């Protein structure tokens, strides 16, 4: 009986480790040389919506409220982390997504992320946000900066 349970647990573990990646997430992760303006991590290209996708903006707002709002406000002032107003004008979409999804790598390798850490004095926590969820947050950031949202 113990052997059966052990094999069952092993099977569940193996299947969990071989999950599928959605096409949207996979299209953003490419093998290209590192570009400091895009950050030092896996996301090399982010296709942007014009106008913004209303569903993604809504999901991004919900994720912001759950995971980001305790440290970031939607206007200028720094609370714990920097305010989000104008962030899509200051940073590339790839840099933003790399910072959201791979904060530890970015803080270890990216000069801009390191400068933000020195300014804020508090390390951004790794929230384990998926690439898809980070894309929704990015869409919300663009809406926050005034980019038009579709229907």
Domains and CATH numbers, the chain: 50-151 (1.10.760.10)
Contact 38, 105 (CB under 8 A): no
- State whether residue 125 is helix, strand or coil: coil
pLDDT tens per residue, range 132-151:
999 999 999 999 999 999 98
Contact 53, 147 (CB under 8 A): no
Name the token pair of 108: 């270890």
pLDDT tens per residue, range 39-77:
877 899 999 999 999 999 999 999 999 999 999 999 988
- Whether the predicted model's global pTM rises above the 0.85 cut: no
């Amino acid at each position: 009986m113990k052997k059966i349970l052990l094999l069952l647990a092993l099977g569940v573990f193996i299947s969990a480790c071989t999950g599928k990646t959605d096409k949207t997430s996979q299209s953003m992760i490419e093998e290209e040389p590192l570009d400091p303006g895009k950050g030092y991590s896996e996301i090399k290209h982010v296709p942007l919506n014009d106008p913004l996708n209303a569903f993604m903006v809504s999901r991004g707002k919900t994720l912001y409220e759950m995971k980001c709002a305790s440290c970031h406000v939607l206007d200028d002032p720094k609370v714990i982390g920097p305010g989000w107003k104008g962030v899509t004008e200051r940073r590339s979409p790839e840099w933003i997504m790399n910072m959201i999804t791979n904060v530890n790598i970015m803080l270890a390798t990216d000069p801009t992320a390191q400068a933000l850490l020195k300014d804020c004095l508090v390390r951004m926590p790794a929230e384990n946000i998926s690439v898809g969820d980070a894309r929704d947050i990015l869409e919300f950031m663009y809406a926050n900066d005034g980019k038009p949202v579709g229907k």
